[in-house]
Structure 1
Amino acid sequence: MIEIGDPDRLKYCGKTEGPRTDSIVRLGLEYQFIFFRVREAKNACREAQNQQTVRFAVTDNKITVWAVEARNKQAQNRNPGMEGEEQKKLKGETKEKIVQIFKDFLTSVAKLDELVAVGGRLLTGFQQGLEFLRRPPINTTSKLIESIIKANETKRLKSYLQAGCIKSHDSVQNTNKLHTSLLGLRNHLIKVKSLLNDLESLLEDARAALQTANEHFSPLLDKEPVDGLDLQESSGEDEMAPSPLREPEVTDYAALMGIIYSMVKQDYVMQDKIVASLNLKSSSGELESYCLMWSLRPYINDQIMHLAWKLVP
């Protein structure tokens, strides 16, 4: 068994490693360590020459990694040449399928990025419209302002001051802008949710492809995973140094897909909460913070995204 989620120590193929070095701070977004943990688990099994296969499962906020033993080791030694060719062919087909799923996955992620930019403009429009409607009137208590008004006092100026320094046309226009922006943001969330469903479906396709390949290589005896690693609640403080670049394996693609899906889903939840909280009583400080968080996208780790795009053939 490989215990990735142990809070104090990590065990690979029965060998106990050093103290914990995981670094996932909820808002620090050090998600990349999971990717390297999957890689380390596979390498550890190879070094120990264990007849094991590293597998993992992805849920909304968890990635579970474990090793499984082959049921019949003697069967693996029968006709090694023929089985080697078959396994090589199956590995190639599996990788080709996973890579294509990975490309489709990142294409949908790119569409999400475009939607986020559009949603940000709609949120800014809501902010500008609301700030205009509650713009304070001219301060007539100032002696300088009072003297200017008296020197240029007209019926039109009096009406403008009495109306709170807002023209009726501008008031109607900005009220419509508020309504349009809010409807646009709600429609934006519907589109994002649809893309998230597509990402989840692609993630399931990748998982199914890996499971099929694993079952073909070695019938599994032990399918009981160890405790999973919660992406949201780990509190390590050390940073995980990236491993040297190498030829990516199918599990690398699938692990990255799981991590990215978790990030974009949390980003969607944040956007949904922002839109739900918008109303005419939203303060200027709140609106400014909403716009800032929307553009910063704190749940998205740019290093992970750059790594993912580099893996595209």
Structure 2
Amino acid sequence: MSSSKSFSSSLPERMGMEQGKLNSEIEEKIYQIYKDFLLRVTKFEELVAVGAGLLAGFQQGLEYLRRCPIDRTSELVKKIVEANGTKRVKSYFDAGCINAHDGVQNISKLQTCKLGLLDHLSKANSMLSGVESLLEDVTGAMQNFNGTLSPINDEDFGDRLNEQATANTKEVASSQLQRLTDYAALMGIVYCMVKQDYVMQEKIVSALNFKASSVELESYCLMWSLRPFVNDEIMHQAWKLIP
């Protein structure tokens, strides 16, 4: 009889210890996933910075090709042209006020920047897929938290033991669960922001062409750099969870 009582009193404690150990392992796993998640988000942001440079290059190249010709009706310009009517100046006017060599270079620059932006989207999308996969991993780990032990067959006996085990580990489990909930919640929020940021970039790149107006190009560059869907405060909060 005493042996049974001893078993009854020690089993909840062992269950609590085992559950606590398993929960700690799950917490460590989620923490590692969280750090990997933020690392991938950082790499995504590095890609965004590279993309911003390519977009600016496309804007500069296009603006050069369609810049306004010299106003030959201006008296000042007339005097300068008359005073420096060299073959080079005449060739420049004949070419439509565009240096042929520079024109070829800027056309090549436009093509390079557009291809670079398409490559950027491919890399960013791949990075985003990795981020999404980690979000799925942490969701699965969260579902295992506090649910890793098999139930006891004797329902009445099992209920009593579970109540005791729950009482002994409630405070610890609650603290762990709160931390894990914070990780998972922030990962979900950050993923949504980054996803919307990527969709915006995709739309901008698809809209780029030689007919895009100067105002459009300026707006695209501004929106790309502002990243309106990304909340810096939330990003800072996410990094604060890393000791």
The TM-score, its normalising length taken from structure 1, stands at 0.64
Structure 1 residues 117-128: aligned runs within 5 Å: 117-128=49-60
The higher radius of gyration belongs to 2
Q: How far apart are 1:93 and its partner, in Å?
A: 0.8
Structure 1 residues 274-293: aligned runs within 5 Å: 274-293=204-223
| Unaligned runs of at least 5 residues, structure 1 | 1-76, 220-245
Q: How far apart are 1:203 and its partner, in Å?
A: 0.6
1:311 matched to 2:241? The reply is yes
Q: How far apart are 1:84 and its partner, in Å?
A: 1.5
Q: Give the superposed CA RMSD.
A: 1.9
Structure 1 residues 1-313: aligned runs within 5 Å: 79-216=11-148, 249-313=179-243
Is the 2:61–2:109 Cα contact (8 Å) retained in structure 1? yes
**CA deviations over 1:202-231 (Å, ceiling 9, x no partner):** 011101111122433698xxxxxxxxxxxx
Following the alignment from structure 1 to structure 2, what is the Cα–Cα distance between the partners of residues 283 and 185? 19
Following the alignment from structure 2 to structure 1, what is the Cα–Cα distance between the partners of residues 186 and 214? 38
Aligned positions, number: 211
Letter in 2 for 1:195: M
The structure 1 segments of at least 4 consecutive aligned residues displaced by more than 4 Å after TM superposition are none
**The structure with more strand, counted as a fraction of residues:** 1
Letter in 2 for 1:271: Q
Q: How far apart are 1:156 and its partner, in Å?
A: 2.3
Following the alignment from structure 2 to structure 1, what is the Cα–Cα distance between the partners of residues 114 and 81? 38
Is the 1:126–1:181 Cα contact (8 Å) retained in structure 2? yes
Percent of matched pairs sharing the same residue: 62
Q: How far apart are 1:87 and its partner, in Å?
A: 1.9
Which stretch shifts more, 188-197 or 77-86? 77-86
Following the alignment from structure 2 to structure 1, what is the Cα–Cα distance between the partners of residues 240 and 184? 15
Is the 1:137–1:165 Cα contact (8 Å) retained in structure 2? yes
Is the 1:136–1:164 Cα contact (8 Å) retained in structure 2? no
Is the 1:126–1:182 Cα contact (8 Å) retained in structure 2? yes
Following the alignment from structure 1 to structure 2, what is the Cα–Cα distance between the partners of residues 172 and 196? 36
Following the alignment from structure 1 to structure 2, what is the Cα–Cα distance between the partners of residues 107 and 187? 21
Following the alignment from structure 2 to structure 1, what is the Cα–Cα distance between the partners of residues 24 and 142? 12
Following the alignment from structure 1 to structure 2, what is the Cα–Cα distance between the partners of residues 218 and 206? 22
Following the alignment from structure 2 to structure 1, what is the Cα–Cα distance between the partners of residues 149 and 38? 28
The TM-score, its normalising length taken from structure 2, stands at 0.82
Letter in 1 for 2:55: L
